[in-house]
Amino acid sequence: MTTSLTPSVRPDSMSSANKVLKVVQSIGHHKASGPNIIAAILLLLMSPEPAFAVQVHGPPEGVIVHLMGHIFFSVALLFLIYILNKYPIDSSKAWKYFKISIFFWLVWNLDTFVEHILALRLDKSAIIVGKHHIFSYLAGPLTLERWIYYLGQFDHFLCVPAMWSLSMSLRHFCKRVERQQAEENHGGQIL
């Protein structure tokens, strides 16, 4: 009697992990060439299984903890703005972009916090969702609360500039470090 390390699974219920295991085992019997490795990676990517990486908590503790996270993030950003204004490091482009990024992250975070509160208050019928979120529209009666909720859903107009400003800041920081390293490397040499 032989014992196999491969789990016995019916072909129709084979999970993606078992499919990849079979491909990797076949690679072991053959030469591990580029196409076989690419096939194994593509098989893994094309047949995903639920990762169960997010544990959803029901009301009220899940929502409360999530909103607390937004509050702590806002406090941290406000503290960072305070420190950078009270004790400025320098006025280079990198720090200017970084401050702009912090501003947009703060506004985005406050917008998202308000959206979460409004999502709890409004009826589920406040926004009618089509086949895709792009085709959503605001249902009547058109109150100020519903308009704020609807317009707040466009938070990517705050999030994208925040990410762009942060990436520009990091780019300028990297250029600055590269320049300093180049000066240190060539500083002791006679040209």
Whether pTM > 0.85 for this model: the answer is no
Say yes or no: 137 and 173 in one domain.
Answer: yes
Chain segment 134-147, per-residue pLDDT in tens? 777 778 888 899 88
Residue 152 neighbours by CB under 8 Å, 6+ apart: 111, 112, 114, 115, 118
Is 4 or 140 the better-scoring residue by pLDDT?
140
pLDDT score for 81: 94
Contact of 112 with 153, CB cutoff 8 Å = no
* Domains: count for the chain: 2
Say yes or no: 90 and 123 in one domain.
Answer: yes
Say yes or no: 86 and 151 in one domain.
Answer: yes
- Give the residue numbers spanning the domain of 170: 61-187
Chain segment 101-150, per-residue pLDDT in tens? 999 999 999 999 999 999 888 888 887 877 776 777 778 888 899 889 88
User: Which own/partner pairs from 170-173 qualify as long-range (CB within 8 Å, at least 24 positions apart)?
Assistant: 170/94, 172/92, 172/93, 172/94, 172/97, 173/94
9 domain residue, yes or no: no
Say yes or no: 113 and 181 in one domain.
Answer: yes
123 domain residue, yes or no: yes
Contact of 156 with 178, CB cutoff 8 Å = no
